[in-house]
Structure 1
Amino acid sequence: MRYFFAIEPNAQAKLNIDHWRNQYLPAFDHPVPVGNFHITTAFLGEVEQDKLEVICEHIDKQHLPAPFSLTLDQQGYWSKPKVYWLGCQNVPKGLLDLVKLTEKAGKIAKINLPKRPYIAHLTLARKCAFEPASALLAPEFTTPITELGLYESISGKSGVKYLKRFSWTLPNKR
């Protein structure tokens, strides 16, 4: 089973992003469904059950960052995977802390994580034949982040679904 750690915009932000995508960008052949909107902190890939337990136990013992706000205000396109995305001009410290924590959990479980610089992004469309023109109205979506999730990626006839299998609430610190 394929797994990844991620955070999600709240429901209102997801709807606002979808509305903006439909109003200000060209129609995509392969848009990401709104229900799949997320920002990955660590992609784990194929994970056996025993390693999944190690990963969850590790996260359970960690001091998670306090809830934070995330602003998606940047558009981008990667030509090799043909992906159009929204990103952050300023990545919050809380997100970077979650990236470190989730990558460490993968390493403790002896999972070989991809070695590339972290770029916080939310994928809007896949299999883009060419880079779309930037939207006429720049994106600016701010959402509270209050939870870290561990998701399973399930491929089916109707596409990929991401199911949240475990979650951890970010603690309000005083």
Structure 2
Amino acid sequence: MALKRLFFGIGLDTQSKSRITQWLNQSITHQKPATLARNWHITLAFLGQVDEPTTEALIQFAGELTLPPFELHFSQTGYWPQNGIFYLQPMPCEVLNNLAAPLRKISKEWQLYSCPYRFSPHITLFRGHKGEPQVQAPVTPFTLSVREFHLYHSHALEDGLHYTPISSFELSA
């Protein structure tokens, strides 16, 4: 039975990706390339290797969630030295937490993956970066309107890692 590496997440729109790319190119001094803009997202729940019947059950479960659309406001960066991750972090958002909680819970209950860390939403800009990248100017604050979330398949192709949505879920209360 084929397994797929899956996670629930929120994608970024083209305008947000352009803003971040411009800021990275103009205001950040770094030692290695940034993560690929095509893969920028906010992970809601990592699921690990999942078989097809469980994938279908996850899609049904996520489709039954009812939460309103919301906005995420970004203006802060952060750095985790243990894994060299430099990231953008949204301001705290209760609806975001309410979306992530049942997805993370079902992953644990179904024994897919149990994250040992508290939910810390972020967009990973650099991974494995030795030393925090130097920020010459802070990111211009921006807002991401969240109207849907996705079940992503993480897989490698000839041109690198891809996070491909295999199902999408509209937010509406």
TM-score by length of 1: 0.90
Q: CA deviation at 1:157?
A: 3.9
2:24 maps to 1:24? no
Q: Secondary structure at the match of 1:73?
A: strand
Q: Aligned AA for 1:98?
A: L
Q: Which residue of 2 aligns with 1:48?
A: 51
* Aligned-residue identity in percent: 28
Q: Secondary structure at the match of 2:133?
A: coil
Q: Which residue of 1 aligns with 2:36?
A: 33
TM-score by length of 2: 0.90
Q: Which residue of 2 aligns with 1:58?
A: 61
Q: CA deviation at 1:139?
A: 4.2
- Residue pair 1:54, 1:109 contacting (<8 A) in 2 also: no
Between the aligned partners of 1:139 and 1:75, the Cα distance in structure 2 is: 11
Whose strand fraction is larger, Structure 1's or Structure 2's? 2
* Aligned-residue CA RMSD (Å): 1.6
Between the aligned partners of 1:125 and 1:113, the Cα distance in structure 2 is: 24
Q: CA deviation at 1:55?
A: 1.1
Between the aligned partners of 1:137 and 1:31, the Cα distance in structure 2 is: 17
Structure 1 segments unaligned to the other structure (5+ residues): none
2:5 corresponds, among 2, 5, 13, to 2
Q: Secondary structure at the match of 1:120?
A: coil
Greater shift, 144-153 or 124-133, is seen at: 124-133
Q: CA deviation at 1:121?
A: 0.4
Q: 4+ residue runs of structure 1 moved beyond 3 angstroms?
A: none
Give CA deviations for 1:4-62 in whole Å, capped at 9, x if unaligned.
Answer: 11012221111111111111101452311111110001011111112112211111222
Between the aligned partners of 2:106 and 2:21, the Cα distance in structure 1 is: 32
